[in-house]
Structure 1
């Protein structure tokens, strides 16, 4: 596929605003822009320096469409590596469409989603992982996801992968050289150094793969299910966490019949809270559907908040029943952190709290409990801090590479598998020609991450998810 024509698109969000930016990129971008632009000082855009701004008007024959600022970026010193101009016009949707239609008539083509960034990749301005980070940066909605995307766009992940690939490639060359001199029975590749390299590559790959568990939830938000019996304060807790009346609160049991979700950023990390229908035996068909959805949301959640009414725990048998229900939930979802949130702390005496604590201490479930009053917003900050502790943010503070992209994760898994095969072959004295096959496959998987190995189908799948204009 050839990308040598000139493309145009709106680079700012669609709709009316104060200012809109229309971007053109391609070999003829500046000359096309010059054909519709009339400088207030009579300047010829094709003769102006790169990275300069020019005030004037967009003219369609004898009709003035708008007063604009035109930015000039001459290739290769531009985002795409091509000649690029950006027209800053007033944000009327009518003006935007009139200018774009004029540029189409002058020889431009509407850009496909992500085509500007695709051209930046094809022209060597970005590698593939950096290009994908552009989309992550645009969609980042909290500090942590923004930090990860910025690190990747600056080449942190790419540099780490490129260094490993280069070292492995050097040894692959020596292995290939041995094959050329097979009859001489010589070894150009030091097996001891090669083994140390494979151990180092394996260590780095495992660290990157392990980081995906953290990176994925940071990028997409951490789902937290709020569950419990009806009328224990689940909706009140959701409202307290969000600091707004998001869910309907009523003394009538079974008020929440469907799940309610909303997001909150805590310490730079996005959490997606899910208020669920109360769990109880019911003959109400609609409520039973909501309860079934509750268990579906528990399955999807990363953390479960099991909320109970603390004022009822003083009643004999209620605490035992709670422990039994929490135990069932833990058995059904053994890998999920379950926090027992004891609500209505403001109504509990110290004696009652001590009695509950003693009872909880004697059970063998080792439950993590927090006392709160959702209505009075007591203990809500402690709960937020506890949720934040479930996220491993040490890597963010240390500026380590974190993998958030599923495609990268898949390639890293495949590369690790091939490196393990090479390592096994080295330890079992496998012939060089067979080891060379596994080394080439490992190099291929590394190459797919940064785009050193790519095809049109892969590029199409990646850039189809970009917004138009970027």
Structure 2
């Protein structure tokens, strides 16, 4: 699938900047670079030690393109496991393209998306789950997703899977050995120990599978739908949470005709807030479409925030309670935060009545900012951060989740086979399948199509 030719790509974002970095990798990376690099001290790049940096110029014949720093990394002590050269030049787009085109004319090929990391995987520098964590690390936009990606890139998840697979493989070898002596009717694999191992593997797999519920929302941001009747302050609340005028605010009911989304980090975790159209009976066709989208967004959200205008509702709290019960009954499994907005318009007696009649209500004035901090704390409490705080392995990748589910299904079959006293040849089939699915996660079992799908999602230059 992958050539062993020499590739080049821009490793920094395209566009103007102070500096840009071009990365070259392959068997001819150093020799091609040496031909195009002129050291200010007359050094020959091919004779330099690994992990050294050299000042000079990139030259095209007699023409100097730029003064650069060239970093040399010799195989296997490099990111890709091949000879690698990184060229730090000035960040002019013109200079970047001139150097890139010069290297392409002199034997390099433009790297495909993720090809540097793919080569690192194929050369044993990373396993597949670590390689995928590189992409997650690049795309992480909050502390929690960054922490999970760093843990996986360091091999925390890989080592846990590898240990399970190794232990299962050892017993599988004994089961396979029994097949060679089937006529003698002997057992090399102690069934009691094997049962204990299978139970332990099942426990670990279930824990990893359960962690995906937390890991997935941390990685992608936790969607929070802000719902309520028109003109209760949903857009004002969104602006207060984001600390900017993101949504249009007016006294006209139905101003928000469509959903507005934006994301912020609270306590290191990304929350994606969705300001929805007000829920009410309307003959306005455009507003009706917005209300329909509101219910769609509630379906998609992990958390629902129900907002009501306390100043208008204080005389009819029964209606508010009815609306709250409707949402609870329709979405019984979805966490619901009840927010009484515009409390700055209420006196102490009204506030006391509000808190007595609506259980668990949060008091808020989106206009003044009162209660916003308390709301953010309440949102954090809804997220199970125990595994994150305890530095446990958390699964964030859908491919890993699917492989774990399949592995668990096969392990359950093995467990049932032990209980029923099945012969080794029947259990061996299920054991092989479990090993296959565990191997898929780290790349011990792979194919070109799978690798193509994974690395196609990487950025070019990584």
TM-score by length of 1: 0.97
1:393 aligned partner: 385
* Cα-to-partner distance string for 1:313-359 (whole Å, 9 max, x where unaligned): 221xx211112112112222121111110011112222112222332
Identify unmatched segments of 5+ residues in structure 2.
none
Q: How does 1:148-159 map to 2 (within 5 A)?
A: 148-159=148-159
Per-residue CA deviation, residues 228-281 of structure 1 (Å, 9 max, x unaligned), is: 001111111111111111111111111111111111100000001111111111
User: Residue 363 of structure 1 aligns with which residue?
Assistant: none
Asked if 1:356 corresponds to 2:354, the answer is yes
| Pairs within 5 Å for 1:82-161 | 82-161=82-161
Higher mean alpha-carbon deviation, 259-268 vs 157-166, is at 259-268
Contact 1:57 1:68 in 2 (8 A): yes
State how far apart, in whole Å, the 2-side matches of 1:28 and 1:94 are: 25
Computed over aligned residues only, the root mean square deviation of the Cα atoms, in angstroms, reads 0.8
2:405 is equivalent to residue 405 of structure 1: no
Distance in 1, Cα, partners of 2:325 & 2:204: 38
The correspondence for 2:445, drawn from 439, 442, 453, is: 453
275-284 vs 401-410, which moves further: 275-284
Q: Does 1:209 align with 2:209?
A: yes
Distance between the aligned counterparts of 1:30 and 1:355, measured in 2? Answer: 77
Query: Are residues 1:427 and 2:425 paired?
Result: no
Alignment partners' CA distance in 1, 2:4 and 2:163 = 32
Offset at residue 25 of structure 1 (A):
0.2
The superposition leaves residues 335-390 of structure 1 with CA deviations (integer Å, 9 ceiling, x where unpaired) of 11111100111122221122223323xxxxxx532011111111111100000001
- Distance, in Å, in 1 between the alignment partners of 2:72 and 2:66 is 18
Distance 2:372 2:352 in 1: 20
**Which whole-Å CA distance do the structure 1 matches of 2:357 and 2:4 have between them?**
74
Determine the structure 2 residue equivalent to 1:364: none
Is this contact kept in 2: 1:27–1:83, CA < 8 A? yes
Partner of 2:59: 59
Superposed CA deviations along residues 73-116 of structure 1, whole A, max 9, x for unmatched, are 00000000000000100011111111111101110000000000
Q: 1:24 to 1:107 in 2, by over 3 A?
A: same
Partner SS, residue 69 of structure 2: strand
Q: 2: distance between equivalents of 1:330 and 1:392?
A: 21
* Partner Cα distance (2:39, 2:314) in 1: 81
Specify the alignment match of 1:325 in structure 2. Answer: 323
Is residue 338 of structure 1 aligned with residue 336 of structure 2?
yes
| Cα distance in 2 for residues equivalent to 1:268 and 1:257 | 31
Whole-Å separation in 2 of the counterparts to 1:142 and 1:355: 39
Contact between 2:262 and 2:273, CA under 8 Å: does it hold in 1? Answer: yes
CA distance in 1, matches of 2:204, 2:3: 37
1:261 aligns with 2:261: yes
Q: Secondary structure at the match of 2:205?
A: helix
Structure 2 CA distance, aligned partners of 1:192 and 1:52?
A: 56
Q: Which residue of 2 aligns with 1:237?
A: 237
Aligned equivalent of 1:375, options 367, 370, 375: 367
Residue 48 of structure 1, CA deviation = 0.4
Distance across 2 between alignment mates of 1:187 and 1:333: 53
Structure 2 CA distance for aligned equivalents of residues 240 and 108 of structure 1: 52
1:306 aligned partner: 306
1:3 match: 3
Deviations 1:193-230 (A, max 9, x none): 10110110000000000000000000000000110001
Which whole-Å CA distance do the structure 1 matches of 2:416 and 2:213 have between them? 27
Specify the SS of the correspondent of 1:469. coil
Bigger drift between 237-246 and 142-151 goes to 237-246
Q: Which residue matches 2:249?
A: 249
Q: Matched residues in 2 for 1:27 and 1:21: separation?
A: 20
Structure 2 residue aligned with 1:26: 26
Moved more, 336-345 or 119-128: 336-345
**Cα separation, 1, equivalents of 2:334 and 2:225:** 11
Alignment partners' CA distance in 2, 1:87 and 1:309: 59
Aligned to 2:434: 442
* Separation in structure 2 between the aligned mates of residue 276 and residue 177 of structure 1, nearest angstrom: 63
Q: Aligned pairs, how many?
A: 462
Does structure 1 retain, via aligned residues, the 8 Å contact 2:355–2:361? no
- Looking at structure 2, the residues matched to 397 and 117 of structure 1 have their Cα atoms a distance apart, in angstroms, of 29
Is the CA contact (8 Å cut-off) linking 2:216 and 2:395 kept in structure 1? yes
Alpha-carbon displacement from aligned partner over 1:393-439 (angstroms, at most 9, x marks no partner): 11111100000000000000000000000000000001110100000
